[in-house]
Amino acid sequence: MAKANFSALHSDGLLRNADVSDEKVSHVGKAVADILKLRHTLEENMAAASTEEERQNIADRVETAAVTAISNQGLSIDEYNQVIASARGDAELEERVLIACRAA
């Protein structure tokens, strides 16, 4: 799996739409879809938790599962975060990630 081209980072530290391959966008989109499912489960389980310890255990398990979801897509946490941060400032990249997420 190709790694992010961090030499393509612009002076603001972000990637541009054209800097991110369709393959990487697809992997990020799939990871986002998985993380959204985890978040839904987290919210349900948090509502049912009766102690702070239970809530912390649930949060820890979901965080570990999110890292696994990202890794399962062949991405490092840094790569995932870089694409997500870049998408927040680039409407075209954001749309590509959203389309990939919906397709997952």
Give the residue ranges of DSSP H helices in the chain: 22-48, 52-72, 77-88, 91-103
CA–CA gap between residue 12 and residue 15 (Å, rounded): 9
* Residue 12 CB neighbours (<10 A): 10
Q: What is the pLDDT of residues 25-71, one digit of tens each?
A: 999 999 999 999 999 988 899 999 999 999 999 999 999 999 999 99
Number of folded domains that form the chain: 1
Please tell me the predicted confidence (pLDDT) of residue 88.
Answer: 93
Q: Is residue 98 a part of any domain in this protein?
A: yes
Q: Is residue 12 a part of any domain in this protein?
A: no
Mean pLDDT confidence for 66-88: 96
Domain range for 92 is 20-103
Q: What is the pLDDT of residues 3-26, one digit of tens each?
A: 344 445 555 668 888 889 999 999
**pTM of the predicted protein model:** 0.81
Q: Is residue 6 a part of any domain in this protein?
A: no
